[in-house]
Structure formats: C-alpha cells, structure tokens
Chain A
Amino acid sequence: MSGRRRTLVVAGNGMVGHRLLETLVERGATAEWDIVTFCEEPRVAYDRVALSSLFAGASPEDLELVRPGFFEQVGLSVHVGDAVTTLDRERGCVVSQRGVRVDYDAVVLATGSVPFVPPVPGRDARGCFVYRTVDDLEAIRDFATATGCRVGAVVGGGLLGLEAANALKSLGLETHVVEFAPRLMPAQIDDRGSAALRSRVEELGVVVHTGTATSEIVRGSDGRVKGMRFTAASPQGAAPEDLSVDLVVFSAGIRPRDDLARSAGLAMGERGGVVVDEACRTSDPAVYAIGECALAVGRLWGLVAPGYQMAAVVADRILGGDRSFTGSDLSTKLKLMGVDVASFGDAFGTTPGAEAITFDDPVTKVYKRVVVGPAPAAADGRTSGRTSGRTSGTTSVRPVLGGILVGDATMYDTLVQMSRGAMPTPERLELLIFPARTTGEGAGAGLGVGALAGNALICSCNTVTKEQICAAVADGCTDVAGVKACTRAGTGCGGCIPLVSGLVRHELLAAGVEVRNDLCEHFAFSRQELFDIVRAQRIGSFSELLSAHGRGRGCEICKPAVASMLATLGDAYILDGEQASLQDTNDHFLANLQRDGTYSVVPRVPGGEITPDQLIAIGHVAKDFGLYTKITGGQRIDLFGARVDQLPHIWQRLVDAGMESGHAYGKALRTVKSCVGRNWCRFGVQDSTALAIDLELRYRGLRSPHKVKAAVSGCSRECAEAQSKDFGVIATEQGWNLYVCGNGGLKPQHGVLLASDIDRETVIRYLDRFLMFYIRTADRLERTATWLNKLDGGLDYLRRVVVDDCLGLCAEFEVDMARHVAGYRCEWKATIEDPERMARFRTFVNSDRTDDNVVFVTERGQPRPAYAHEKPDPALLALGGTP
C-alpha cells in the first residue's frame, strides 16, 4: 500500500454518519485516512430518537452524541452548518454550499431523510411545521409560546405523528391527530390493536380523526394558519367538519434525502433512495450510502438499528474487510404517550398457514396478538403416531412468527426471541399471552433469560448477542454499566437494558457469584448495615470505622457515604478534621461542580418566599462576579460559573444580605416548594407557605442517602406538585394530607398517602420518623420512591412503622431528629468566619493566579462555559495550561 494519505468525505453527521466516524476511529482508520465530514445542521450529531425528550425537560446538550474533543483528533475534521451540494464523480471531488472543495478517494452518503409534506394548498402558511430536527422542535415551541396558540393538529397518525401529538399536548395545546388510513399506526398494528391504542390516546385528551384526508390548510389574512379542511378518505365516508387550528405539524412519512446522489447520476430506486449492494456501495464503487437515504436489500430502512449495521459494514469495507448488510430486524417496541406499543416479525400473519392467538380487553385496553406458524410436519415422526388421547407432548410445537402488543408489552423480549428461534416456544400456546407466574407446566419452558440461545440478539442497535454479554460477564463485568462499556449493548435505544441486567444477574448466579449489596470493595456491608454499626457503636470517624470493619484505604463511594452518616448522627461542621477528606468535591467546596470545573451557588429560599431586597442582593452578586443565573425547579435561584477562590466572597455577600446555604451541593434536603396558599389564593384553605417554610427550616442540612425534595399545597388543586416529591403535604378543610415517596426525575412516580386530615404537629412528628427511617435503611443513592418499592410490606408496613410504631423505634427517630435540628449551622457562615477554613478556597495553593483554562462565551446575554471547539486545542491544555 502506498504511503499517501487518502481522503474520505462523509456527507451528513446524523446518527448513522456519526456512528460510522466512531467505528472508523475505533478501528484505527485515521492512520491512513483523512476524514472530512459535512454536517448540514447547525449542530453536530445528536440522538434524534430521543428528540421528543426536548419537550420533557431535556436540553439539546443532553442529546449530544459527539464526545468532547472528538473532532479535534488527528485525521478528523468537520464543517458544521455546511452541506455538500455537488458530488462531481468525474473530477473526484465534492463542493459544499459555502464553497469548500475536497478531493476524495471515497465518499459516504449519510444524508438521512426529510419529512414528507403532502401537497395540500396552504401548507406553507406560518404555523406549519415538520418534526425531524432540534431546530424544528425549537421552532414549534417558540411559535406556540410566542403567538399563544390554543389548538394544534398533527397530520399523520403513525409513530412520529403520535410523538408529535404528545409534544403539542405538553405545550398545553388542545391536540388533534388527523390520519388518512382508517386506524392509527397503520403500518405496524392491526385494527383491534389500533382501537386499543386509540382509546388510550383519547383518554389522554387527544382528538383522533381517522379515515380523514386533509384537503387544505386555511390561511388567515396575517399569513398564519387559521384552520383545516378535510375530505373523507373513502367515498362512503361523511365529509368531516372543518377545524380551527393555530398550528399544524406534518408527519405523514419520510422520504430519503437522495437529491445529491440523484444529481450525481447514481442509480436510484423507483420511489427514491440510493441503490446500494450488500457492501452498501452505490453504482459508483467509490461512493457508499448508509442509513435512511440508502435503498439496501431492495428497501428503505427507517430505523436507527439497521443504519448502525450499515455503518459497521462500510467501516469494515473501507478498512479492506468483507462484511455485508443482508437485512435487519424491524421489530419495534415503544412507549407512545405512556402506552406500550410493540410490533415484531410477521405481525399481520401473512405467512401461509399462520394463525393468531389474541387477547383483547376493552376494560383495561390491553391488546395482544401472537402469530404462530403451522406445526412442522412430522418433525420427529411422533405427530403421525399419537400415543394417547391427549395431544400434549405429542404434537410438535408451533413456532412464533410475530405479533402485536398494545398496553402491555412485558412479554416483548421473550416473544421476539422466540420468533427469532432463539428461545423454545411453549407447547401451551396461551402461555404466550398469559405467562405462567409460578412454576408449573410450561413455566420453565423458556420464559427466562437462561433459555435464550447463545446467538440470540439482545441489543439490536449494536448487534450484541447473548454470548457476547455472557463472555463480558465471564471476563469480569459485574453490572450493566460494565457490560455497556465493553460490548456497547444498551447504548443505542436502551430498550434492551432490562434484558441485559437480567442476563448479568443470571450469569453471576450461575457462576456461583453471590450477588451482594456491599457498599464497595472496602466494606462487606450494605449501607443500612453500616449505618446501624456506626450508630450502635457510636463510631465517630471514617478511619475508626475502616480499621474496625473495613479494608484498604476507602474510595469515592464509601468515604462520602460514611461522611453522610456521620453528619446525620453527629452535629459537627462537615469539614472539620478528618471529615474534610471524605466529602465529594461538592460537599468539600459547599457548591455544585459543573462540567468545566467551576461551581454553582444556590442560597436557600425557604418555601420559595423571597423579599425584593434579597432578590436585588442576588442580582448584584451575580453581576459583580459575572455569574450566569437561572431559576431552578425548586423555587430558588442558581448562580453558575464561580471559581473556587470566589466562593467565600460570594457567600459573604449572600450571608450579609440575610441568606444562607441552600445545600444544593449535598445529598440532603433541597427545598420545600409551596404555593401562596390561603394568604392570597381564593381557593386556599390553609397557609401552605408558612408550613413549607417551617418544614424547610426544620430539615435544612439533613444529610440523607440521596437528595430529598418536598412541597406543600394550599388546597387539593395541588399547585405545588406535592405528590411528585419525597414528601408532600396538601391542605384539607380539616388539616393536612401527608404524601410520601413521590419522585420526578428519571422515573417519575406519584407519592402515596401516608395519613389524612392530620394537624401540623402530627405532620411534623410523622415526617421526623419517616425521614429518619429512610435515612437509616435506604441504600446509597436510593431515592424514597425506589426505597419504598423495595421495602418488604410496602406502604402498609411503612405506615405501621411511622404511624403505629410497630418497631418501637419512633422515640429514637425523634431524638435523632431533634439533635439534628438543634445542631444545625449554616455551613457557609461557619466557613467564612474561620480564616483557616477560608484558606482552603484557593485555585492554586502556591499562586494567586486564576485558572485561565476556564473560558466563558456569551449566549443570550449571559456567560456559559465554552465548548471544546470554542477553546484552544485541548492537547495544548493538557500540557498544563497557559501558553
């Protein structure tokens, strides 16, 4: 091979294009190739599959797929916001929109798709959108909020249409879905499944119009969408009435982005798409196409998993290998508006001889259909010679071919494995629909992970089989995180994670590894056991505990965990003596570490009540120190971008203005949010703000296994969202209702009612007990919701402990809490009052210089940390900073 470096151009930095880059880099292609990527969108690759999470609180940064520093690597470059406009095959070069010309040795087209917008009149009115990119979603949100939209409609009732409808709902719009076909998701599910889905979707308040063709978007005199006109999709149907709408999202399917290939004269499919062979090569051997723009094995593949497989094939071919793309599995399982929907294999039963077993419950709106094939004829000669009157044990088993699940997809993984032949099908076919819960006939017949064949595909996004996962466990992975890191399983859509976790546990057990709940390698005890030891033996320091009950030198897991126990049980300043060495950096610096190494500062605002003077003081502090400010979900103000050496000065100013630490940095009580309650609100029945302030001041600084959030509402309208908190109190005419163990975050869960119509003192008594019981018995980083889910006996048991004192521990709980309340001190104040403690807050111990690797840029009038590409070369930085 000649020593000349070759050039690969990649058009498109979407999900598939980026996977290709990652694979090429991993396999060392940059030793020989310069890889130039053109990325049409104004941002590099992001997780399009998770796009809708932008409407559930995620930010575009959360979706980023590109590791920091990725494009800074040698051999890689990217043109962001620039598209390839010409592919000149004769000259062997591409030219971009901005006029960049690159001579290539090979090109990969990874240009994805565009949403199809049906040619109805008025479709270009202001207020018409598509749903494909971050920009699209931001435009929808901005338009809806800026113009005060009330009603929105989605054209198209497929998978993406329903996601878009959910987004409109979350913007608070009255939402309509208009589908041409007689049912929702016509491509994936059948009539009855669709009916179940429809009634669930309608329960959520979405209006569904099926069998309806959009004939016109009506435009107002201001150019904005005003309404929609329809015709019946079939001649028999009655003409549907017009609809007044303010916003329309088109989601009527996608079309491959094949314009570039078309104008370059490459072979195209009849209905679009760049034709490729099994090497993903187009009609020009120097040009490949992958992902949604490619027509491979005679069809388009509108999912990310087949695209990733194509990326792997092309990476291999470019490096001289011979991998092929021969098709992929289109099974899908999703949660649409909270409803499980799955479709896999021959879902409609088109295979000759196929029959379906169905379950259709109109009450719970669960629908399941499993398609089975005919029994293999006389496979082992036994079918012809029945030996008894019963068929059981004599007929061959019928194979699962496919199916549809709506409302309950718990059987999905098992059924898909059966349809792939990787798991035996039970003889009693009803077990496919009602899995046996206990042991018994058929129960063991292959419903657990153990029954999966070795080559069973577990992660279809990354093509990882059971064998590979088992091998990873045998090589020493003991948890899902480890398996993810070494096999990539579960890093795509994440749908296979439960299966991966089941497999890991199964393999560990099979290997005789006891699955223990040890805190870490230094202590052979769970957090609860350690807490009991610390408390019972009055242990006062980490080193005492380590020498008596542990081994080694401790680590970042056990040190902060033990520090938290010592803080709960003792009343010393958390940075005194040895305690200082145990704290996470957040607790060590009493502020929250951000990704660039700076900190954020949150003063306490009890109950969310704040005076104008305090607001002004916060504003002055932010201005004087150049901090970014943001209102948090817990009704307070977060100040970002402070350097270590600035922290005490910031606190001094806040303390002078009568504020104190908000403990946002600790695993501790965060906030008790409240509504204004009776003092102002015409519906309020109690003073919710006063109670919230009292509770926040009582439990402030209380260290716990994880953060604790709380709220108080002044009436049953629940404006403070108390039922989504670790504890929540809601006013009633007679007193207060107390809810516990609610959770927002990753896995939202409503709180459960612990006691109703109790008075203020009882609220506090129960809360003292509840919190101490949780702190003593939960695992490290376990929120109250998860803790309750695992608690033997559940809510009933919790009530007996907290209300009926069945363990006889309540007196102890109350004493522990009283000690906490009496011992509370503001940690900021304690720090700034002590010169020796102040001396720890320096960027460099031996210099007064500040860290000039912390770089801010201005965005929307405020500072934010610079991203890697906005900073000097990180390789230079790694050398040590200042040039």
Chain B
Amino acid sequence: MTITETHALAPTWVDVCPFDWLISGRGVCALVGGRQVAVFRVDDELFALSNFDPFSQSFVLSRGIAGSRGDRLKVASPIFKQSFDLHTGACLDDATVSVATYAARVSDGQVQVACP
C-alpha cells in the first residue's frame, strides 16, 4: 500500500450510482476507498453505513430490508435479522453493537459517499 494523501481538508466524494437507480427500501453495496459501504434509499432520503454485519461477521447489510421501528428508520440484517439504525448505525437489538456510518449526498443526479 502507498500512502498518497494524508490530510485532505474536504472529504473526497466517491460516485456510487444514479439516484434514480435506487429502489426505496432497498440497498446497494459500493466500494468507497476500499471499504464496503451499504447505501440505502428510503423515499427521498439517502443513508450510508458499513456493509459489515458484526453478528454474522459477513458483508451483507446492503442486502437487508429497510423499514422502521417506532420512529427510527432501520435496516435488518438478512442473516440473523438484527436491526441497525440507518442514521446512527446503532444496533437496535444490542446496545453494545454499532456499525460505522458515512456521509452521503446527491450531486447532479449521482449518489455520492464521502471517503473518510
């Protein structure tokens, strides 16, 4: 590995796919700076969190079903069905567990995720 840039001031935004391509309630997986990021669309909102499911230790969260619990938006892991808050990455079934979240935006119709 070669380190090219160590401290960029603004995040680098990585293209994911056209916004129209996303289906509300479903996710896709993007590679962002070598990391697997699960990107979800719920109605017109965008979310990005780690694709890693700590319970099954596999990279699958993008393949879960998004929905709500109470007034929190969440996605359920397709393996053992634990739910994660789409805003914060916190697991709703086990307070000691959470996954990373990333900034996401739409720019010129393209979904982009910030590369940390």
Contact = CB atoms under 8 A, between A and B. Distances in A.
A67 to B, nearest CB: 9
Contacts of B14: 846
Interface in B1-42: 1, 14-17, 21, 23-26, 28-37, 39, 42
A580 interface: yes
Q: Which 7 A-B pairs have the closest CB atoms?
A: A880-B35, A581-B25, A555-B67, A556-B76, A553-B68, A585-B78, A597-B58
B29 A881 contact: no
B64 A878 contact: no
B64 to A, nearest CB: 7
Contacts of A595: 56, 58, 79
Contacts of A102: none
Interface in A34-70: 68-69
Given A581-B26, A849-B31, A879-B35, A596 B63 contact: no
A833 interface: no
24 contacts: A68-B56, A68-B57, A69-B57, A522-B67, A522-B68, A552-B71, A553-B67, A554-B25, A555-B67, A556-B76, A559-B65, A559-B67, A560-B65, A581-B23, A593-B79, A596-B58, A845-B17, A845-B30, A847-B31, A853-B58, A853-B59, A880-B32, A881-B34, A883-B1
Contacts of B50: 878, 880
Interface of B: 1, 14-17, 21, 23-26, 28-37, 39, 42, 50, 52, 54, 56-60, 63-71, 73-74, 76, 78-79, 81, 83
Contact of B64 (A552, A553, A585): A585
B31 A844 contact: yes
Interface in A95-152: none
A858 interface: no
A815 B35 CA distance: 51
A585 B60 CA distance: 10
A880 B63 contact: no
Contacts of A556: 64-65, 67, 76, 81, 83
B78 A584 contact: yes
Most buried by A among B33, B50, B57, B83: B57
A552 B70 CA distance: 7
B52 A553 contact: no
B37 to A, nearest CB: 8
Nearest to B65: A556
A844 B16 CA distance: 9
A845 B16 CA distance: 6
B9 to A, nearest CB: 22
B109 to A, nearest CB: 15
Contacts of B21: 845
A877 interface: yes
Contacts of A384: none
Nearest to A839: B21
Contacts of B35: 879-881
Interface residues of A, number: 43
Given A584-B78, A596-B58, A874-B57, A555 B69 contact: yes
B58 A553 contact: no
Interface string A325-360: 000000000000000000000000000000000000
Contact of A553 (B32, B33, B42): B42
Nearest to B22: A845
Q: A522, A588, A844: which has the most chain B beta carbons within 10 Å?
A: A844
A843 interface: yes
Interface of A: 68-69, 521-522, 552-556, 558-560, 578, 580-586, 588-589, 593, 595-597, 843-847, 849, 851, 853, 868, 874, 877-883
Given A69-B57, A553-B68, 9 more contacts: A522-B68, A555-B65, A581-B65, A593-B78, A844-B36, A845-B17, A846-B16, A851-B59, A881-B35
A596 B78 CA distance: 11
A585 B50 CA distance: 17
B100 to A, nearest CB: 8
Find the residue from A581, A845, A849, A877 having the highest chain B CB count within 10 A: A845
A402 to B, nearest CB: 41
B68 A555 contact: yes
Contacts of A880: 32-37, 50, 52
A32 B66 CA distance: 41
A588 B65 CA distance: 10
Contacts of A881: 34-36, 59
A585 B63 contact: yes
B79 A846 contact: no
Contact of A597 (B24, B37, B59): B59
A882 to B, nearest CB: 5
Contacts of B31: 844, 846-847, 849
A522 B74 CA distance: 14
Nearest to B21: A845
A10 B50 CA distance: 36
A582 B58 contact: no
A868 B57 CA distance: 8
A554 B67 contact: yes
A706 to B, nearest CB: 16
A10 to B, nearest CB: 24
B60 A597 contact: yes
Contacts of A843: 29
A816 B26 CA distance: 30
A303 B50 CA distance: 43
Nearest to B14: A846
Contacts of A578: 23-24
A522 B76 CA distance: 15
A560 B66 CA distance: 12
Contacts of B30: 844-847
A749 to B, nearest CB: 26
Nearest to B1: A883
Nearest to B56: A595
A553 B73 contact: yes
A877 B63 contact: no
Contacts of B29: 843-845
Contacts of B67: 522, 552-556, 558-559
B79 to A, nearest CB: 7
Which of A555, A558, A846 has the most CB atoms of chain B within a 10 A radius of its CB? A846
A868 B30 CA distance: 24
A121 to B, nearest CB: 52
Contacts of A69: 57
Nearest to A69: B57
Nearest to B110: A846
B25 A882 contact: no
A690 to B, nearest CB: 39
A41 B37 CA distance: 39
Contacts of B17: 845-846
A62 to B, nearest CB: 15
Contact of B23 (A554, A580, A847): A580
A554 B73 CA distance: 10
Contacts of A853: 36, 58-59
Contacts of B32: 880
Contacts of B69: 521, 552, 555
Contacts of B37: 880
A405 to B, nearest CB: 37
A881 B81 CA distance: 22
Contacts of A68: 56-57
A39 to B, nearest CB: 21
Contact of B36 (A521, A586, A851): A851
Contacts of B23: 578, 580-581
A851 B15 CA distance: 19
B34 to A, nearest CB: 5
Contacts of B65: 555-556, 559-560, 581-585
B111 to A, nearest CB: 9
Nearest to B33: A880
A882 B1 CA distance: 11
B70 to A, nearest CB: 7
A581 B75 CA distance: 12
Contacts of B26: 580-581, 588
